[in-house]
Structure 1
Amino acid sequence: MKRQIKAEMALAGLSYRDVAERLTKFGRPISEQGLRNKVSQCTHQTTWYWDLIKVISN
């Protein structure tokens, strides 16, 4: 899952900072470091994952 998230971010040309800002605007407040931790440790729920994919895709 970690690889998929990183690949989606790379395809969209987004950094962790960009994604963290988008998630915060989407209603899921998180810092850049918090996002890095969640992705690297895969400590997230399925609903959070789908929200992450939504903000990366937009």
Structure 2
Amino acid sequence: MNESYYAGVYWGPRKESSEECARRLEVLLEELQSVDPSLERWFQQGKSRAECLEAPIEPEPR
């Protein structure tokens, strides 16, 4: 089975800072690994699978 997913992020008025929101996203991505091993790695969108594999997303604190 070949499934594809899309996660969009939209930033509207919030009380928390963008840094606090980014930290919550980082925690979410880390916790998703325990749901299913296929959610361990994330990549930027590309025109092909090969192009995506060249652009991993590495959550890191700033």
With normalisation by structure 1, the TM-score equals 0.32
With normalisation by structure 2, the TM-score equals 0.31
The structure showing larger relative contact order (alpha-carbon pairs under 8 Å, at least 6 residues apart) is 1
Larger Rg: 2
Between Structure 1 and Structure 2, the one with more strand by share is: 2
